Amino acid sequence: MTQRTAVVTGGMGGLGEAICIKLARMGYKVITTCSPGNTKRDEWLADMKKQGFEFKAYEIDVANFESCQTAVAKIQSECGPIDVLVNNAGITRDTTFRKMDKAAWDAVMHTNLDSVFNMTKPVIDSMAERGWGRVINVSSVNGQKGAFGQTNYSAAKAGMHGFTKAAALEYAKKGVTVNTISPGYIGTKMVMAIPKEVLDSKIIPQIPIGRLGKPEEVAGLVAYLCSDEAAFVTGANIAINGGQHMQ
């Protein structure tokens, strides 16, 4: 079987990095995206190479449709057809709705939700033409249950799954699955930057398993959804949150 190619948006940190490593270990050719002008790109690629991973990283503004179209065309010309797309890129601009301005709303919606359209649009039809493809949208527990101070983030992450269900229906008979995963609190650098007293008193007590998730655990779920064995799973939203929210 020819080597399949996976694109992971926002793959240069935390959860995205774990997904890139997992897919590479499964035998995928892995490409990640980073924001234009990212000064850590070459350093990250060099560090990954030391660990034995030959990744490629393309600068893409996932919030901009034209940027995505141009970059995807370049990826396909240089690396071949894209078989797996993991829409992982995301940002937060947390504040209460009363204090939230339009800029904070727009930034999160463009980066977290518009990006799913922007990146999926240029790749999914070619997946369907080849009769095989996987699109995995990385949402959040807060898209399922809401979160104080995150009306923008919760709305964008919930919107991802609405996209998933409709696209899954349209491409189900063409060998392309579209799924959402909704991680809870995972021990990434972003979460670990939360003060320890807040983690210990406010966040971990909400998690029945009693700890943060590991990036590798989420990457394992993504890997399953990318596999041939997951061909009957489509339109799903799979929670991976230690029991924090059950639906």
Per-residue pLDDT at 1: 65
153 part of the active site: yes
Q: Tokens 């709305």 map to which residue?
A: 155
Mean pLDDT of 87-114: 96
The residue among 25, 78, 34 whose CA lies nearest residue 53 is 25
Q: Name the pTM for this structure.
A: 0.96
Cα 187 to chain centroid, rounded? 16
Separation CA 176–CA 168 (nearest Å):
8
Q: Which residues contact 83 (CB under 8 A, 6 or more apart)?
A: 4, 5, 6, 28, 127, 130, 132, 133, 134
Which of the residues 28, 58, 153, 171 is marked catalytic? 153
The model's pLDDT over 140-179, given as tens digits with 9 standing for 90+, comes to 999 899 999 999 999 999 999 999 999 999 999 999 999 9
The model's pLDDT over 3-33, given as tens digits with 9 standing for 90+, comes to 999 999 999 988 999 999 999 999 999 999 9
Domains along the chain with CATH numbers = 5-240 (3.40.50.720)
DSSP H helices, the chain, are: 14-25, 41-50, 65-79, 102-108, 115-130, 141-145, 151-171, 189-192, 196-198, 215-226
Beta bridge partners of 180: 137, 237
Separation CA 116–CA 10 (nearest Å):
12
Separation CA 74–CA 67 (nearest Å):
11
Does residue 129 register a pLDDT over 80? yes
Amino acid symbol at 16: G
